[in-house]
Structure 1
Amino acid sequence: MLNALFQAVRGDDPYEQLISAIINIERQPQAELKLRRAEAERLKGVLNDFDSSLSSLHAVLESLTDVVSNPFEARTASVSEGASFRVTASEAAGLGTHTVQVERLARTDTRISDQLTAGGTSLRSFFDTNGAQTFSIEVATPSGATSRTAIDVTVDPTGTTDAEILAEIATAIDEAMSTAVTDGTLRSTERAYASVVNETSDTARLSLRSGQTGFTHRLSFVDSGAGLLAQIGLSNNALAAGTTGGQVTLVGTSETDSELNSKFTLDGLTLYRDTNQVSDALPGITLTLEGTDTRPYDFSVSPDATSITSEIQNFIERYNEVLGFIEGKARVDGENDVRGDFAGETAFTALRFNMRTDLANAVPSASGDGPAYLSDIGITINNDGTLELTDEDALLAAVEQDAGAVQRLFAGPDGFATRLLTRIDGYVSSNGVLDNRLEVMDNRIQRLDDRIAEWDDRLAQREAQLRQEYARIQEIIGSLQSQQQSFLSFFA
């Protein structure tokens, strides 16, 4: 302390240096508090890291034991080579094999007008005689095949040639459809689209196409008073042929005779659908029709062994992460005087022991010849308690043979995942072990912050006191120096 004072006095500003030295010496208790606070923050970080690791395992266990999104019921579908359809299967799909033959794909309803001479004036004459025309195009709405919405279209062209007037009709149709979408009358997928097609350089046709495939989304018309649609052949309810307009695909009168619908056989039954993606034929199965077949093809639905194995591997990784975390933090190295943060923390070391025990014991509810130990499905418990998938083929075989048995091994009433979930709940739940420990650390940090703040106030007051004392000393020294000068001048 004397050395510090001596060094301070030797400075350019001895009083300031002396005050600083004294304050630094008296600040030592506060510095100790700051070290304790830093250590508390570090320990809080360790607890947060452990909470994160344990919560990740908890989430995996919840997934494994979830009866709604049961990962052990994952399904996969395989299709015979050469088939013109794809299949996807959800957990709701039943296991087994089915036969499909695609006979026809669903199509949009396309209508074309008569072939007109591009430079002709027949349409100009029609409008000059009859004036503006208003007709309606009926399209399907979501409530069903019989629910139709009529969109009115008004045409009063200014063009001269048939090609120009057909283009104005197409524009009027598209604008009416766009308005219906904008005001909510139709969805964008329900509207029709119009265009002009030039088959040759001197001919033109009006083409009108539905927004979606299938008989439900067919087009129908209410002609104008003077019969504009009939005049151009667009409303002809027969197949177009040669230069005559009409239906490009036979619309028919029902879903069974309309060639707008897809047609396929499933296990010997003939099905018709509006689209080429069919999800209502078999529960949990979606068929995507991509072409037609000359013969039936099989597809099979089986447990998705790859997905299930991935879920189990994820469980192994999260479990090992938690076990390794506790092991690392509970380690004591006497030779190097190193003591882990969890050393002596029975709440955490007991968790590690109990987790290992939970996985070492058999599952009594495992039925019959099904697996009862992790080793029965190719998972080894190492000497340090960590898990390792040492025989993936055994796991795949167990899943393919009886995925339900593997599910019971983990998610049964006394399954491995069920046991661990119950065990860990007390740690990660609200007001659980980790919540309480973190609250204790927060309270400790707050108390240290309060004491550090108190020291800041105390040291500020002490510094002010020292400045006052040294100011008085300087005043006394100044007075003595003045008296000395007076005394010396008396004897001069």
Structure 2
Amino acid sequence: MGITLDGLSSGLDTTTLIASLMKVEAIPQTLLKNKVSDTQVMASSLQALNTKIAALADLAKTAAKPAAFDVYAATSSSDKVTAVSTAGASAGQIDFVVDRLSQTQVSVTDALTVWPDSGLTLTAKDGTATTIAVPSNSLDDVVKAINAAPAGVTAMKVASGTDSGGNPQYRLQLTAASPGAAGQFSISGTTAAVTEIKTAQDAQVTLWAGTAAAQAVMSSTNTFPELLPGVAVTLASGSLGPATVTVARDDKQAAKMASDLVTALNGIFSLIAARSAVSTSTDASGKTVTATGPFTGDSTVRGVNQSILSAASMPVNGHSPSEYGVGITRDGNLLFDADKLTAALAKDPTGTKAALAEIASRVSTAAATASDKYSGTVTSQITGQQSAIRDLSDQISSWDLRLASRQAGLQSTYAALEVALGKMKSQQSWLTAQLSGLSSSSTGA
């Protein structure tokens, strides 16, 4: 039942009155909505924190591997020889002479207008022969047939002017699919003249050249993946001649690994500090207002911060991490000193690398304990916050029904009041009229 005209009988602003009453009735729901908003801020902040901690766990896990800080860099005395260190490299130096570069066999036919035979045979280095039949004497058909055959050779047609009759001529270029001597092939079964343009050959270097210990090493490509353990050497055009490859400990790479770890740790500490801060401001009336961050007073976040900080700053075998360049500041952040790490690596490389790996391992464990997607402490708290949001949202929905019912009740009550007042006014008017009639009769008598 609705009210079409406010206060028709009572003169009251019924709509405003009911709206004011509903604001009071809705206070519990408003408090629930505010709580949902606060819980959502907390859940969002925890998710941001968990993402950073999970990234730290992955980084620290990598840094905790035995070879993570055992980094070596390879350099070459020749700008035509590139040396790259990989896992397993160790300090050392080797001299060698580049004797020849790798070549892939290329053969070319004389100029042709059509293929002169019904096919051809390609024979690999190991003696495997592949006979290729072609459906016509079209050079395009020959190219397609060669490329489709498992002969380890690719073909292409190259324009080569015209013959005496003005017909276009082409030469077929045949190229081994595999580089080096292993890709060598021969052509038979055709009357077409074929010229070998490039001979199949492996690249070759000689170690300790000019000595009784001289040793030739060959590769089908210009890259020697294990010329030294953990070192790949690549030859460039014009690299023939002597070269020296030197492998030395790469302190810069080790320092970068440690620096990245410290940066990730500080990112977490900074996030926690920023969202745990208490700030004050002044409102329009001049009153001081205090605001707290979502992490303020949260024991779980505080515990995670402490466990990760302890993992990074506690001694290793009686030695402070600061001896290896990882120090702690007064405000609870970490500080990385590359010079200290370099000095420690120079003095005791084995012990320093082991200590850094131990610190990384502890950090990895602490971070994983917090961020594990199933059982992590921060993950569990996020799940709890999300569950609370769902429960509060259900309560808010229930209040929507309750408030709608209450508003309908108020509207019905005030509508009934207006009707009752209307009737009373009608009765009053009738009584007034009756009394007025009686008075007139008395006066006339």
TM-score calculated relative to the size of structure 2 = 0.79
Task: Work out the CA distance in 1 between the residues paired with 2:307 and 2:418.
Answer: 73
Matched, 1:320 2:320: no
Question: Structure 1 residues 215 and 295, CA, compared in 2 at 3 Å: closer, same or farther?
Answer: closer
Contact 2:42–2:295, Cα closer than 8 Å, also in 1:
no
Partner of 2:83: 87
Residue-by-residue CA offset, 1:26-83 (whole Å, 9 max, x unaligned): 111211111122112222223223222322322221111134xx32133321000x35
Q: How far did residue 358 of structure 1 move?
A: 4.3
Give the aligned CA root-mean-square deviation in angstroms: 3.7
Contact 2:90–2:249, Cα closer than 8 Å, also in 1:
no
Question: Structure 1 residues 112 and 385, CA, compared in 2 at 3 Å: closer, same or farther?
Answer: same
| Correspondent of 1:176 among 137, 145, 153 | 145
For residue 193 of structure 1, what is the amino acid of its counterpart? Answer: A
| Correspondent of 2:416 among 438, 463, 472 | 472
Percent identity over paired residues: 20
Task: Work out the CA distance in 1 between the residues paired with 2:244 and 2:347.
Answer: 21
Partner of 1:101: 97
Question: Structure 1 residues 199 and 400, CA, compared in 2 at 3 Å: closer, same or farther?
Answer: farther
Task: Work out the CA distance in 2 between the residues paired with 1:134 and 1:49.
Answer: 68
Partner of 1:35: 34
Q: How far did residue 294 of structure 1 move?
A: 5.2
Matched, 1:377 2:324: yes
Residue-by-residue CA offset, 1:70-127 (whole Å, 9 max, x unaligned): 32133321000x352211111122331122322211112122335x6x8xxxx88x96
Task: Work out the CA distance in 1 between the residues paired with 2:270 and 2:336.
Answer: 17
| Correspondent of 2:387 among 415, 425, 443 | 443
Task: Work out the CA distance in 2 between the residues paired with 1:466 and 1:294.
Answer: 99
For residue 47 of structure 1, what is the amino acid of its counterpart? Answer: L
Residue-by-residue CA offset, 1:361-402 (whole Å, 9 max, x unaligned): 43218xxxxxx4333333432222322223x23423444665
* Unaligned stretches of 5+ residues in structure 2: 1-5, 209-213, 281-287, 441-445
Contact 1:104–1:292, Cα closer than 8 Å, also in 2:
no
Contact 2:81–2:239, Cα closer than 8 Å, also in 1:
no
Question: Structure 1 residues 405 and 177, CA, compared in 2 at 3 Å: closer, same or farther?
Answer: farther
- Matched position secondary structure for 1:296: strand
Matched, 1:419 2:362: yes
Residue-by-residue CA offset, 1:443-472 (whole Å, 9 max, x unaligned): 322232222112111111112222322333
Contact 2:99–2:241, Cα closer than 8 Å, also in 1:
no
Q: How far did residue 480 of structure 1 move?
A: 4.8
Partner of 2:443: none
Task: Work out the CA distance in 2 between the residues paired with 1:147 and 1:440.
Answer: 71
- Identify the structure with bigger relative contact order (alpha carbons < 8 Å, sequence gap 6+): 2
Contact 2:301–2:378, Cα closer than 8 Å, also in 1:
no
For residue 172 of structure 1, what is the amino acid of its counterpart? Answer: D
- Matched position secondary structure for 1:471: helix
Partner of 1:146: 126
* Unaligned stretches of 5+ residues in structure 1: 1-7, 140-144, 158-167, 224-228, 235-245, 251-258, 366-371
Residue-by-residue CA offset, 1:246-267 (whole Å, 9 max, x unaligned): 32344xxxxxxxx522222234
Partner of 1:3: none
User: What does 1:384-399 correspond to in 2, within 5 Å?
Assistant: 384-390=331-337, 392-399=338-345
Q: How far did residue 489 of structure 1 move?
A: 7.8
Contact 1:136–1:221, Cα closer than 8 Å, also in 2:
yes
Contact 1:9–1:18, Cα closer than 8 Å, also in 2:
no
Task: Work out the CA distance in 2 between the residues paired with 1:315 and 1:48.
Answer: 21
- Matched position secondary structure for 1:77: strand
Partner of 2:70: 73
Task: Work out the CA distance in 2 between the residues paired with 1:150 and 1:290.
Answer: 34
Residue-by-residue CA offset, 1:264-320 (whole Å, 9 max, x unaligned): 223432122221123254443222111344532101122332222111111111122
Task: Work out the CA distance in 1 between the residues paired with 2:54 and 2:47.
Answer: 10
- Matched position secondary structure for 1:297: strand
Task: Work out the CA distance in 1 between the residues paired with 2:240 and 2:144.
Answer: 43
Q: How far did residue 478 of structure 1 move?
A: 4.7
Matched, 1:233 2:193: yes
Question: Structure 1 residues 176 and 453, CA, compared in 2 at 3 Å: closer, same or farther?
Answer: same
- Matched position secondary structure for 2:105: strand
For residue 232 of structure 1, what is the amino acid of its counterpart? Answer: A
Contact 1:101–1:292, Cα closer than 8 Å, also in 2:
no
Task: Work out the CA distance in 1 between the residues paired with 2:126 and 2:226.
Answer: 20
Contact 1:133–1:156, Cα closer than 8 Å, also in 2:
yes
Partner of 1:4: none
Q: How far did residue 340 of structure 1 move?
A: 5.0
Question: Structure 1 residues 437 and 465, CA, compared in 2 at 3 Å: closer, same or farther?
Answer: same
- Matched position secondary structure for 1:78: strand
Task: Work out the CA distance in 2 between the residues paired with 1:196 and 1:421.
Answer: 60
Tell which deviates more after alignment, 171-180 or 479-488: 479-488
For residue 157 of structure 2, what is the amino acid of its counterpart? Answer: S
Matched, 1:308 2:277: no
| Correspondent of 2:185 among 210, 215, 219 | 219
Task: Work out the CA distance in 2 between the residues paired with 1:109 and 1:13.
Answer: 104
Q: How far did residue 175 of structure 1 move?
A: 1.3
Question: Structure 1 residues 148 and 72, CA, compared in 2 at 3 Å: closer, same or farther?
Answer: farther
Contact 2:58–2:364, Cα closer than 8 Å, also in 1:
no
TM-score calculated relative to the size of structure 1 = 0.72
Task: Work out the CA distance in 2 between the residues paired with 1:41 and 1:136.
Answer: 74
Question: Structure 1 residues 440 and 196, CA, compared in 2 at 3 Å: closer, same or farther?
Answer: closer
| Correspondent of 1:248 among 197, 202, 207 | 197
Tell which deviates more after alignment, 206-215 or 338-347: 338-347
Question: Structure 1 residues 213 and 56, CA, compared in 2 at 3 Å: closer, same or farther?
Answer: closer
Partner of 1:242: none
Tell which deviates more after alignment, 20-29 or 468-477: 468-477
- Matched position secondary structure for 1:317: helix
Matched, 1:260 2:216: no
Task: Work out the CA distance in 2 between the residues paired with 1:484 and 1:374.
Answer: 96
